[in-house]
Structure 1
Amino acid sequence: MKLIGMLDSPYVRRVALSLRLLDLPFEHASISVFRGFDRFRQLNPVVKAPTLVCDDGTLLMDSSLMLQYAEVLAGRSLLPSAPAALAHELHLIGLALAACEKTAQIVYERGLRPAEKHHAPWIERVTGQLQAAYAGLETALSHGALPPAAALTEAGLGQASLTTAVAWTFTQFMLPEVVDASAFPALVSHAAAAEALPVFRAIPCDDAVELR
C-alpha cells in the first residue's frame, strides 16, 4: 500500500498512525496538494489527501474509509466491538474530526483568500464550531471518557484517543491563537501523553517528513 499526503494533515497522520498500530506495512509519499499538485494528480486525478493506493491499484479517499479497509486487512480493530462503547468512541471521533475540519476551513480562509476578501461572519461561525467541538471533547475527557493521560500506552491506544490527540496537535500547530490551550487542560494532557508514545514520535505532525 502507498499512503499519499503530508503529515501536517491530521487525516493523513491518523491513517499513518493507525496503519503502524495495526502492523500493516505501507509506503508513504509526502506530496502536498498545493506545492505538488501536478505530481499528486498523476497518482490520483482528484488530488485529495489522504489517498491510499491499495496493492491492486484501487484508490481510497477519506481517512475513515481507509481505516475501515485497513482493519479488515489486519483482522482487528482500534475500535471497541460492543455497541454502546462503539457509539461512545465514534461520538468522540466525530468531535475530533469536526475540529480538524473547522481548523482547516479557517486556515484556508486565511491562507487562500486575499485579506480584503476574508469573510468575518464566516470565520466567526467556523471558530464557534471549532470551539464547541473542543469543549465537547474537554468535557468528555474530564469525565473519564478516555484513559487517563498517565495510563495511556501504545498497546492500549484506541482510535478515539489517537484521533483526539492528532486533532489537538493539528489545531495547536496551525491556530494556537484561536484555541487557547489553557482553557483545555484535559486535552493538553491527553495529547502530550499520546505525542510522547514511540509511534507518535515516529510519525510527527511535520510536512517535511516522509516515512519509509
Structure 2
Amino acid sequence: MILIGQYDSPFVRRVAIALRLYDLPFEHRPWSTFGDADKIAPFNPLRRVPTLVLDDGEVVIESGTILDYLDELVGPETALLPAKGPPRRQALKICALATGLGDKAVSLIYERLLHTEKSQIWIERCQIQIAAVLDVLEADRGSRTSQWWFGDRIGHADIAVACVLRITWEAHPGVFDQARWLKLAAHAAACEALPPFQQIAQPFSPPNS
C-alpha cells in the first residue's frame, strides 16, 4: 500500500498511526496538496490527502473511508472501532467531532495564509466552533475513568482527537488552552508518548500558496 500525504495533516497522520498499530506495511509519499498537487491528481482528482493506493491499484480516499477499509482488512477482533451498536456510534461521534474540529483548524490556516483580506466573522465563527467542540470533548473524556476513551485499548477516537489537538495548538497558538481543557491535554500527552505517535509525526509548517 502507498499512503499519500504529509504527516502534519491530522487526517493523514491518523491513518498512518492506524497502519502502524495494525502492523500493516506501507510506502509513504509525503506529497503536499499545494506543492505536489499534480502528483496527487492521477490518484485523487480532488488533490486531497490522505489518499491510499492499494496493492492492486485501487484507490481509497478520505480518512474515515480509509480507516473503514483497514478495519475490514484486519477484522473485527483487531479493529480499533467497535463493530456495531451504541459503542460503535459513540466512538464514531467522537471521531466526527474531532475531524470536524480538524476541518475548522485547517480552515483557519487557509484564511490566515491565503486571503489578503481576512474575514473576521469567519475567523470568529471557526474559533467559536473549535472552543465548543473542545468543551464537549473535555466533558466526555472527563466522564470516563478508563485508560483510553472507550476502554483499556486505544481506538480510532483516541487517535483522531490527539492528532487534531496537535495541529490545533501548533498552527494556532493560544486557541487551545491546556489549563482550560486539562483532560484533553492529558489525553493528547498520553497518546503522543506512544512509539507510533513519535515515529509518525511532522511539525506543522505553513503551506506555500
What's the TM-score, normalizing by structure 2?
Answer: 0.90
Query: Which residue of 2 is the match for residue 175 of structure 1?
Result: 172
Query: Which residue of 2 is the match for residue 68 of structure 1?
Result: 68
Unaligned ranges ≥5, structure 1: none
Does structure 2 conserve the Cα–Cα contact (< 8 Å) formed by 1:23 and 1:74? Answer: no
CA drift at 1:185 = 0.6
Amino acid at match of 1:92: I
Identity over aligned pairs, percent: 37
Flag the structure with higher helix content.
1
Runs of 4+ in structure 1 off by over 3 angstroms are 42-45, 205-208
Query: Which residue of 2 is the match for residue 127 of structure 1?
Result: 127
| Residues 112 and 78 (structure 1), Cα distance of their counterparts in 2 relative to 1, 3 Å cut | same
Q: How does 1:40-189 map to 2 (within 5 A)?
A: 40-75=40-75, 76-114=78-116, 117-144=117-144, 147=147, 156-189=153-186
Q: Once the two structures are superposed, what CA deviation does each residue of 1:87-127 show, in whole Å capped at 9, x if it has no partner?
A: 2211211111111011011111111111xx11111111111
Q: Once the two structures are superposed, what CA deviation does each residue of 1:19-77 show, in whole Å capped at 9, x if it has no partner?
A: 11112111110011112222333443331111111111112110000011111111231
Does structure 2 conserve the Cα–Cα contact (< 8 Å) formed by 1:165 and 1:190? Answer: yes
| Residues 12 and 84 (structure 1), Cα distance of their counterparts in 2 relative to 1, 3 Å cut | same
SS of 1:102's partner is helix
What's the TM-score, normalizing by structure 1?
Answer: 0.88
Does structure 2 conserve the Cα–Cα contact (< 8 Å) formed by 1:60 and 1:66? Answer: yes
| Residues 17 and 132 (structure 1), Cα distance of their counterparts in 2 relative to 1, 3 Å cut | same
Amino acid at match of 2:100: A
**RMSD of aligned Cα (Å):** 2.0
* Range with bigger deviation, 78-87 or 165-174: 78-87
| Residues 144 and 200 (structure 1), Cα distance of their counterparts in 2 relative to 1, 3 Å cut | same
| Residues 122 and 80 (structure 1), Cα distance of their counterparts in 2 relative to 1, 3 Å cut | same
CA drift at 1:145 = 6.9
Unaligned ranges ≥5, structure 2: none
Aligned length: 202
Does structure 2 conserve the Cα–Cα contact (< 8 Å) formed by 1:24 and 1:74? Answer: no
Does structure 1 conserve the Cα–Cα contact (< 8 Å) formed by 2:148 and 2:154? Answer: no
